[in-house]
């Protein structure tokens, strides 16, 4: 908790030195992913959170909830974007098992650096490299199911490209991630297993601005199946995101998380509210 | 008099039909140019006028226009927008680089101008798909405009 608090305080101090940054085109900062980093919902994108340009910095804060058949996941967090180059993020995930109200919580810390290109302009896609640190606060379940560790590090490379005049003359975006991870169920069931350990996973997203304020899209996240005792499946979602202005977004999604800890076909709704400065 | 067209005639007919399918679809219902979809000369002039009004009240960018001659800007922007949207005009102004060199137009100021143009086109009832085609063509000029 102490580290968590420290990061919150540091972020607020950083924010106090920032002016309101809103000089990129609305929606091009995306929303907040469940890891806290800028992106879609279930995966981060190459975009950095907020609407800072290279001359500015910005900050985003969010709350999200996924409610599937047998579980809920509540996430809150924030991210600081420095000069649209470096993004620091943190998030707290609280996972609840509906049947017995038991909770598993973990903290996520993220660093994402834009290394090349631009989302909209020029030929190169925007390419970013990210690191996610994950620490499980309730490791008993993870240990019980055979996970090797309570914490783990993910590293990913992400590329995103938007076309102003995309399909149907609508501004559209594609994003592709390659992630090196040991996580079981986003880390909620620990890291590494008896079957497999670190692996490369693919993640992808496609989105389209139907109007200047309304985007629709899909996401896919390949997930490893490290534990012999349980089945883990890939996750996907379809989403709609509303950007009433440059400082607010509301996302609704239908998520399919597959089998989680022996409970099959975990589908349900996801909502996320983001504020950006 | 023949009851059926000769083999030669029917082959010619078939070839012509195929050719018109490949080449002719757009000729049968000619697709409007981007310029025409903006409302041709009148539409482009109207968008330009609304664009100038948006810039004039945009505190983010107005400083860049302090020394510009509004009449000349209007004239040259109309020409430029007309040319870039396949209209019957030749742009006679200075190059984008010549105009913007020394101004140090930031990425943020460029975005602000894009937003002003979106607002102008929206007020002129230009459909979002048409707006995006215009923006896509103008966005290509970005390297000739910012941080010079």
Residues B110-134 have a mean pLDDT of 95
Beta-carbon separation of B128 and A25 below 8 A: no
ipTM over 0.85: no
Residues B67-104 have pLDDT tens digits of 889 999 999 999 999 999 999 999 998 999 999 998 88
**Minimum-distance CB partner of A164 among B109, B111, B139:** B139
Residues A135-151 have pLDDT tens digits of 999 889 899 999 999 99
Q: Please, are residues A79 and A37 in contact by the beta-carbon 8 Å criterion?
A: yes
Please state, in angstroms and rounded to a whole number, the distance separating the CA atoms of residues A176 and A178: 7
Domain A2-276 sits in CATH at 2.40.160.40
Beta-carbon separation of A163 and B129 below 8 A: no
Interface contact A245, partner B, CB < 8 A: no
Please state, in angstroms and rounded to a whole number, the distance separating the CA atoms of residues A107 and A132: 10
Residues B115-135 have a mean pLDDT of 96
Residues A80-103 have pLDDT tens digits of 999 899 999 999 999 999 999 999
pLDDT at B97: 93
Mean pLDDT of chain B: 85
CATH class of the domain comprising B35-144: mainly alpha
pLDDT at B25: 47
- Asked if the model's pLDDT at residue A245 lies above 70, the reply is yes
Percent of chain B with pLDDT over 90: 64
pLDDT at B37: 96
Domain residue limits, chain B = 35-144
Please state, in angstroms and rounded to a whole number, the distance separating the CA atoms of residues A190 and A183: 6
A1 min Cα distance to partner chain B (Å)? 38
Beta-carbon separation of B133 and A56 below 8 A: no
Which range has highest mean pLDDT (A21-35, B23-37, B108-122)? Answer: B108-122
Residues A176-233 have pLDDT tens digits of 999 999 999 999 999 999 888 899 999 999 999 999 999 999 999 999 999 988 999 9
Domain residue limits, chain A = 2-276
Beta-carbon separation of B111 and A23 below 8 A: yes
B116 min Cα distance to partner chain A (Å)? 11
Nearest to A51 by CA among A11, A20, A7: A20
> Phi/psi at B109 (nearest 5 deg)?
-65, -40
């Amino acid at each position: 908790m102490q580290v968590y608090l420290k990061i919150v305080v540091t972020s607020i101090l950083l924010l106090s030195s920032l002016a309101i940054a809103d000089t990129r085109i609305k929606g091009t900062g995306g929303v907040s992913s469940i890891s806290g980093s800028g992106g879609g919902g279930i995966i981060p994108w190459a975009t950095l959170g907020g609407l800072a340009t290279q001359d500015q910095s910005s900050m985003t804060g969010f709350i999200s909830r996924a409610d599937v058949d047998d579980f809920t996941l509540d996430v809150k967090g924030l991210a600081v974007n420095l000069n649209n180059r470096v993004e620091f993020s943190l998030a707290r995930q609280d996972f609840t098992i509906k049947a017995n109200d038991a909770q598993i919580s973990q903290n996520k810390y993220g660093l994402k650096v834009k290394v090349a290109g631009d989302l909209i302009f020029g030929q190169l896609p925007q390419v970013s490299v990210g690191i996610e640190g994950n620490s499980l606060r309730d490791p008993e379940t993870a240990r019980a199911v055979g996970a090797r560790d309570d914490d783990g590090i993910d590293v990913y490379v992400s590329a995103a490209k938007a076309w102003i005049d995309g399909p149907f003359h609508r501004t559209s975006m594609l994003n592709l991630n390659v992630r090196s991870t040991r996580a079981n169920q986003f880390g909620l069931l620990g890291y590494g297993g008896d079957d497999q350990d670190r692996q490369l996973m693919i993640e992808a997203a496609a989105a389209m601005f139907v109007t200047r304020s309304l985007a629709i899209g899909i996401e896919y996240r390949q997930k490893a199946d490290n534990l012999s005792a349980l089945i883990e499946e890939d996750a996907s979602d379809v989403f709609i995101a509303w950007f009433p202005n440059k400082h607010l977004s509301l996302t609704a999604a239908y998520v399919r998380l597959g089998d989680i800890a022996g409970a099959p076909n975990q589908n349900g709704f996801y909502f996320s509210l983001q504020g950006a400065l | 008099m023949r009851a059926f067209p000769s083999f030669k005639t029917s082959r010619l007919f078939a070839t012509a039909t195929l050719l018109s399918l490949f080449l002719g679809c757009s000729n049968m219902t000619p697709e409007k140019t981007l310029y025409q979809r903006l409302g041709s000369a009148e539409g482009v002039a109207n968008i330009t006028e609304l664009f100038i009004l948006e810039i004039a009240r945009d505190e983010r960018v107005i400083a860049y226009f302090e020394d510009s001659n509004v009449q000349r800007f209007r004239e040259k922007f109309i020409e430029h927008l007309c040319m870039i949207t396949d209209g019957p005009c030749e742009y006679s102004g200075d190059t984008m680089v010549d105009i913007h060199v020394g101004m140090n137009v930031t990425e943020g100021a460029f975005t602000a101008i894009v937003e002003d143009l979106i607002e102008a086109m929206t007020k002129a009832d230009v459909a979002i798909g048409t707006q995006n085609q215009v923006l896509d063509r103008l966005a290509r000029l970005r390297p000739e405009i910012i941080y010079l």
